[in-house]
Amino acid sequence: MNLVPGSEGGFAALHAWAIATAAVVAAGCALVGTLLVVRRMSLLGDAISHAVLPGIVLAVLAGGRPGGFAVLGGAVVAAVVTVLLVQALRSEGGVAEDAGTGVVFTTLFAVGVVLASALARRIDLDPSCVLYGVLEFVPFDTVAVAGLEVPRAFLTGVVVLGLVGAGLAATWKDQVFAAFDAEAARAVGVPVAAVTTGLLAATALVTVASFEAVGAILVVAMLVVPAAAAELLVRRLAWMAVVAVVLGVAAACLGYMAAYRLDTSAAGMIAVVLGLEYAVAAIVAPEDGVLARGAARARLAWRVRCEDLLARLWRADEARAGPPAATGPGDWAAAAWLRVSGRIVRDGDRWGLTAPGRAEAETVVRSHRLWEAWLGRHVELPLDHLHPPAEWIEHHLGADVRRRIEAEVGGEESDPHGRAIPRERGRPNA
């Protein structure tokens, strides 16, 4: 991107204003986006951000300034019209909501493009600015506030953020109730329709306030991506909003600076950074993240390997056979760990179970044989079908369910193959 060169200090101030503008609109979008995402209304955010275009064009035609409050009003009206049309298509025309949304927002957006192009000479509105934003030029369109020249887009962003923030603070608990369970909310008297309309108006406001910074197409990224990433990271809605705002603001700052370094589109770079933030969140998310799931799988695989080895040693003892042969490096690693943790001992070239190791092995074998007994009783299976499921389930049965199964199979002494079921630990052997 190319900025008009100026003095060193003025140059930095221009960048600072552009970053501040991007950050303010990103914060507003992330806040509203949090509620859109948990209400599964992300697509509606997309629709509104496009469908407001004719409202903006008409407001400009009526004498409003791009980024001014008349234009914001026009956009909100267009947003409400969009939602009403989608609802009307569904209730009157029987059109599915997603198809109806697709029809309405593309049509309105197209009308906006046609209007803007046809009226391009009569109005001061460049369609490409609306589509892609002109963050780099935001600092040059200023208004004086208390003696300070402030970019108009920044001022709009701050006012909208204040409005939306105050509105959401006032209605937060009702927003949450309506989002979680609209019918129960209506039953206790929460004005769900008004709350929802308020959210849609807020969506229109933050969208329009973002147009000059990032444009109609990429504003969807600001609405949806920070909230979607935050949903992966935290489990409480209020924290989700906070994290979404932090991610949105961070992407605005980092994206702008990266775009300056790489001499490319600031709006595009901000959206790319948002995408990267999401990717990182998907990897490091504490519960559903790639790393967390991989670690959980690895922990389970390791536990299964150790338990299987203990159970094999125990069964070899039971059969009075020699110790089983190790089947590979995984076994050697498990054996090493079991020795270090005091569950098996090395006796010459034999492995033997220690007391704690024997107790653990018995629990595994007991789980295995109880499950075979339970399956044999409840599911019509040939004997040779009982072992494979038990081999898997033995690692997942806890003491409580084992006792319940035992009560159900009537304290049988042996599994369907005729082998003794070891007693629960802590009780005398029969």
Partner 1 sequence: MSAAAPALELHDVTVAYGRRPVLWNVDLSVDAPGLFGIIGPNGAGKSTLLKAALGLVPLAGGTVRFFGRPLAEVRGRIGYVPQRETVDWDFPVSVLDVVLMGTYGGLGWFRRPGAAQREAARAALDRVGLADLAGRQIGRLSGGQQQRVFLARALVQAADLYLLDEPLAGVDARSQDRIFRVLDELRSEGRLVVVVHHDLRTAAEWFDGVALVDMRLVAAGPVAAVLTPENLHRTYAGHLDVLDELGRAVERGGRTS
What is the three-state SS of the chain? CCCCCCCHHHHHHHHHHHHHHHHHHHHHHHHHHHHHHHCCCHHHHHHHHHHCHHHHHHHHHCCCCCCCHHHHHHHHHHHHHHHHHHHHHHHHHCCCHHHHHHHHHHHHHHHHHHHHHHCCCCCCCCHHHHHHCCHHHHHHCEEEECCEEEEHHHHHHHHHHHHHHHHHHHHHHHHHHHHHCHHHHHHCCCCHHHHHHHHHHHHHHHHHHHHHHHHHHHHHHHHHHHHHHHHHHCCCHHHHHHHHHHHHHHHHHHHHHHHHHHCCCHHHHHHHHHHHHHHHHHHHCCCCCHHHHHHHHHHHHHHHHHHHHHHHHHHHHHCCCCCCCCCCHHHHHHHHHHHHCCCEEEECCEEEECHHHHHHHHHHHHHHHHHHHHHHHHCCCCHHHCHHHHHHHCCCCCHHHHHHHHHHCCCCCECCCCCECCCCCCCCCC
- 148 or 169: CB nearest partner 1: 169
Token pair 């653990």 in the structure block, residue: 360
Piece of the chain touching partner 1 by CB under 8 A; list 150-158, 181-189, 272-280, 311-319: 181-189
Distance of closest approach, residue 231 Cβ to partner 1, in angstroms: 7
Q: Does 176 bind partner 1 (CB under 8 A)?
A: yes
Structure tokens at 232: 């992966």
Shortest distance (Å) from residue 183 CB to partner 1: 5
State which residue, 97 or 318, has the beta carbon closest to partner 1.
97
Site for partner 1 in 26-45 (CB under 8 A): 38, 40
164 binds partner 1 (CB under 8 A): no
Q: Does position 181 bind partner 1 by CB under 8 A?
A: yes
Q: Which segment (15-23, 52-60, 174-182, 376-384) binds partner 1 by CB under 8 A?
A: 174-182
Pick from 121, 235, 261, 427: which binds partner 1 (CB under 8 A)? 235
Contacts with partner 1: how many residues (CB under 8 A)? 28
User: CA-CA distance, 223 to 203, in Å (whole number)?
Assistant: 8
Q: Does residue number 278 form part of the binding site for partner 1 (CB under 8 A)?
A: no
Q: For partner 1, which residue of 122, 236, 261, 320 counts as binding (CB under 8 A)?
A: 236
CB of 185 or CB of 335, closer to partner 1: 185
Among 174, 331, 391, 424, binds partner 1 (CB under 8 A): 174
Scanning 22-30, 78-86, 235-243, 336-344 for contacts with partner 1 by CB under 8 A, the matching segment is: 235-243
Distances (CA, A) of 380 to 374, 375, 393: 11, 8, 18
Non-local CB neighbours of 421 within 8 Å, separated by 6+ positions? 366, 369, 370, 373, 412, 413, 414, 415
Residue 298: CB minimum distance to partner 1, A: 22
Question: Which of residues 188 and 430 has its CB atom nearest to partner 1 in the complex?
Answer: 188
Contact region with partner 1 (CB under 8 A), list: 7-15, 76-84, 185-193, 262-270: 185-193
Of the candidates 10, 11, 62, 91, which one interacts with partner 1 according to CB under 8 A? 91
> Judged by CB, which is closer to partner 1: 23, or 243?
243
Question: What is the identity of the amino acid at 205?
Answer: L
Min CB(191)–partner 1 separation in Å: 10
190 is a site residue for partner 1 (CB under 8 A): yes
Q: How far is the CB of 77 from partner 1 (least distance, A)?
A: 24
Tell which one of 46, 231, 277, 307 touches partner 1 (CB under 8 A). Answer: 231
Instruction: Give the shortest CB-117-to-partner 1 separation in angstroms.
Output: 40
Question: What minimum distance in Å lies between the beta carbon of 249 and partner 1?
Answer: 21
Contact flag: residue 87 with partner 1 (CB under 8 A): no
97 binds partner 1 (CB under 8 A): no
Residue showing tokens 């950074």: 273
Stretch that binds partner 1, among 5-13, 70-78, 170-178, 392-400 (CB under 8 A): 170-178
User: Which of 181, 260, 239, 231 is CA-nearest to residue 15?
Assistant: 260
With binding defined as CB under 8 A, does residue 177 bind partner 1?
A: yes
What is d(CA 196, CA 147) in angstroms, rounded to the nearest whole number? 39
From candidates 1, 61, 95, 186, binder to partner 1 by CB under 8 A = 186
Q: Which two tokens stand for residue 238?
A: 């209020």
115 belongs to the binding site for partner 1 (CB under 8 A):
no
Among 146, 148, 188, 319, binds partner 1 (CB under 8 A): 188
The residue ranges that bind partner 1 (CB under 8 A) are 38, 40, 91, 94, 169-171, 173-174, 176-177, 179-181, 183-190, 231, 234-237, 240
